[in-house]
Chains A and B, each alone.
Chain A
């Protein structure tokens, strides 16, 4: 299985993501510059954290106008796993691949610490290695992580089981304590916390590794069935 880590100008968690997929998970992974990427060559797409285009205008807004967006869209339509973390989540929202938008943290402060997440749906291709309602520790690092959607959208997210992770103690004001959501098909995940920063004990915690393992497990099962 081969992962693409898309690098935008201003991405700064791209190497962490690459390390998580390549060294911690042991899969194939490549860093690909957003202007040169051929996503059709990869089995999964990782959109890393950072500050694409310095977050000018709004977080993720400028990156979401680049030609690579069409490729991300077709990868999503083809059912490939697409994971957007932090700025990557913001890009997915601005692209409209996931519903809602991101606001500044409720108390306006940039926050950088561990949060306890609750796995709300252990039945997605990103969470199959977790237990339902399991509590995991994953670091956050964001200023604009206050997830917002209107009431009707929130009800839809709940009904379709699109809420993958919630915060145990909401740090930023997100609607419904939401930390991560998937699209209706379940193959696109956006989350503010950084699983790629928690992939081995040496980093303090390995709770994030199982997210990457889930993607690999899903891929293997799918290919075993197809074979």
Chain B
């Protein structure tokens, strides 16, 4: 088995209201050095290994897990020990 770790973030330039709200709260807590905050999604998907796994994950992200109109994604595939 492989553990696929997928990170989804809003694209650069797309307004992130959730990130803005978190940024404001961090400022309220006196973390004055905090700049822009972006909130994303993290997913773990367990998959059987195959030669095609990278391609498959890429397609999964494009088709469903991320919306390419507003989101970017990246992923790593790790061996499960």
Contacts and interface: CB of A to CB of B under 8 A. Distances in A.
B44 to A, nearest CB: 14
A149 B15 contact: no
A105 B18 CA distance: 10
Contact of B17 (A100, A104, A149): A104
A103 B64 contact: no
B67 A101 contact: yes
A149 B69 contact: yes
A186 B70 CA distance: 24
B64 A100 contact: no
A106 B17 CA distance: 6
B53 interface: no
A91 to B, nearest CB: 13
Contacts, number: 38
A113 interface: no
Contact of B70 (A99, A105, A148): A148
Interface in A101-115: 101, 103-108
A58 interface: yes
Contact of B64 (A57, A104, A106, A107): A57
B37 interface: no
A106 B15 contact: yes
A103 B21 CA distance: 15
A65 B14 contact: no
B77 interface: no
